[in-house]
Structure 1
């Protein structure tokens, strides 16, 4: 435990900036907010490969545990329990704040915390994709047998939206993500919007349900109605080559702009100039209220919930 009056909080997240994503941004915001309020903060995350690395993000010390194994989207290392107990002890951690889903790291950290208070933050509904197969079977078993025990052990529960699995416990508090309106704000009233559509999010095999491939498959129909339309894609991941190949096959590659990962300021600029920002998820389990809020605050353009699976 801390030897002075300053409380030390360990923020434990499976991924952390510079990795992009809603959970990553939320955990980053929590860590920065705690630090600005005078708490001592240490972030514990993961990296692919072996060993433990240390770096800083915006003045926050980040310890990244090696994850030589990955199952679906879940990094795994059987040594994490021992490593986390040592980190909590050496850094005199008083409180542990875990972020999930993505099983294993948050679960192990909850037990490695020992008698320390644990605030468990859950970011989504069920992870079951509904497509069958062994992964769905494992996820169902995890959510039925493992997750409830982990949540019962936590001192406090936070859900980032009403669909978070923590709501089933009757013990959680909903704390939705905030948006920096100094960055995400509408354009001037007389601004002229381009006939562009924006996708912003991960482009990974494990995040296929976000629906970019469906949007690209639908793009020829959009161009029939509006030949000058452009699809702006912000994000990166291992699914990019597959979707680029799909765009080539459909003959629409010239009307798609690939930006890669952008800073918040750069993303806000793109949001302000486009005409349409569809919801990029075809899953009702995705608790990404921050994405919708950014869209509302950044653009006077329409926001559409497209029926991606039937588009």
Structure 2
């Protein structure tokens, strides 16, 4: 059977939305029709070898932490494609590895699909990077996009011919894994949260995600909802500054930092909350932007109302006013008002969560994403 070679820097056990997206697509391909070529994450992400042997397909890793478009990496990708009989390639992120497309075609690859996320929209704003992105788009058969925002940004950068071949491919959500009874009570007990109102944020701790906006909004939330707890799940370079900010705001005793948690515990951490919030914002003049925000959909699948920032494609993951609320993430006021509204009316918040789960189950399924990818890889 012809195989698909997935070439990616974004793959577990390193965690993140792109990693989950690419892995989810790989897992839903026939096991004997996929081989993954990827980088090796650092030890903080866990044992990559142990992860790889559990997969139903072969995983070939470079010893480096990042695959770059170098001749050596291309030669290895070509060798894998020849040895495995790969007739198609899926780039986990089109830029910059999509530059390998001509070389892979020389190795017998007939069909090439490049995924895009949020960072490619940043590339589209920089002249040199925009030229590289345009070159990649002209070489691949299909460049995918997550939603209307990313399509519009990319289409302006890559030119009309390549833009005409763009196709939407967004991730799905495993609603059997993310559901309201996923073990939230255990997480609440672990952190001593009891029955207190909990706002949960699950994400990397970086400025774009807006955890600082949550911390700055928290005094106002506590004034209206005494006893509320902000549960910040994840780790990243912003952690120290966020802790210091919570101390300065005088809310450190009601802000819980869990640090990194195992992937298998993520559903339980979502389920520990009453409201999910990540007021992301666009930074650096549009270079740092949210592509979609799979965490909003995972929260909805768990039955939580969501508060999302109005950055890039993030609003595509929220039915504003139905499954959650979209706010500007640059200032704490809008976030505080949204949280107070949801925490202050648990019945209405629960109804939002129910609508969110129903929406995810109907519109954001892995089955639909897998079928879509099959069509893109075969050209049908």
Same fold judged by TM-score > 0.5?
yes
Aligned runs of 1:91-240 on 2, under 5 Å? 91-100=84-93, 103-104=95-96, 106-115=97-106, 116=109, 117-124=111-118, 126-128=120-122, 140-165=126-151, 168=155, 169-186=163-180, 194-204=196-206, 208-240=207-239
Structure 2: runs of 5+ lacking an equivalent: 43-47, 156-162, 186-193, 307-323, 333-380
Query: Aligned pair in 2 of structure 1 residues 228, 183: CA closer, same or farther (>3 Å)?
Result: same
CA distance in 2, matches of 1:228, 1:220: 11
Q: Which has the higher helix share?
A: 2
Q: Take 2:219 and 2:327, find their aligned partners in 1: how far apart are those partners?
A: 16
Distance 2:176 2:23 in 1: 18
Q: CA deviation at 1:269?
A: 2.7
Mean Cα deviation higher: 253-262 or 157-166: 157-166
State the SS of the aligned residue for 1:17. Answer: coil
**TM, length-normalised to structure 1:** 0.77
Give, in whole Å, the separation in 1 of the partners of 2:60 and 2:238.
Answer: 28
Q: Rate the CA distance shift 1:67–1:264 in 2: closer, same or farther, 3 A.
A: closer
Equivalence for 1:305: 326
Q: How does 1:74-89 map to 2 (within 5 A)?
A: 76=68, 78=70, 79-89=72-82
8 Å Cα contact 2:121-2:150 kept in structure 1: no
Which TM-score applies when normalising by structure 2? 0.64
Contact 2:93 2:116 (8 Å CA) reproduced: yes
Deviates more, 1:294-303 or 1:152-161: 294-303
Distance in 2 between residues matched to 1:67 and 1:23, nearest whole Å: 19
Cα distance change on mapping 1:45 and 1:248 into 2, 3 Å: farther
> Which residue number corresponds to residue 14 of structure 2?
19
Check conservation: 2:202, 2:270, Cα contact below 8 A: no
Q: In the TM superposition, what is the alpha-carbon distance from 1:165 to its structure 2 partner?
A: 4.3
Query: CA offset at residue 271 of structure 1?
Result: 2.5
2:189 aligned partner: none
- Long gaps (5+) in structure 1: 1-5, 129-135
SS of the aligned residue for 1:27 comes to: helix
CA change 1:171–1:184 in 2 (3 A) is same
Would you say the 8 A contact 1:213–1:243 is kept in 2?
A: yes
Query: How far does residue 26 in structure 1 lie from its aligned partner after superposition?
Result: 0.7
Determine if contact 1:81/1:108 at 8 Å carries over to the other structure. Answer: no
The answer (yes or no) to whether the contact 1:193–1:273 under 8 Å persists in 2 is no
Counterparts of 2:298 and 2:133, CA distance in 1: 30
Match of 2:60 among 53, 63, 83: 63
Secondary structure of 1:296's counterpart equals helix
**Rounded Cα–Cα distance in structure 2 between residues aligned with 1:59 and 1:184:** 22
Residues 111 and 31 of structure 1, relative CA distance in 2, 3 Å threshold: same
Q: Any conservation in 1 of the 2:69–2:99 contact (CA below 8 Å)?
A: no
| Alpha-carbon distance in structure 2 between the residues aligned to 1:91 and 1:120 | 20
> How many equivalent pairs are there?
281
Number of the residue aligned with 1:46: 39
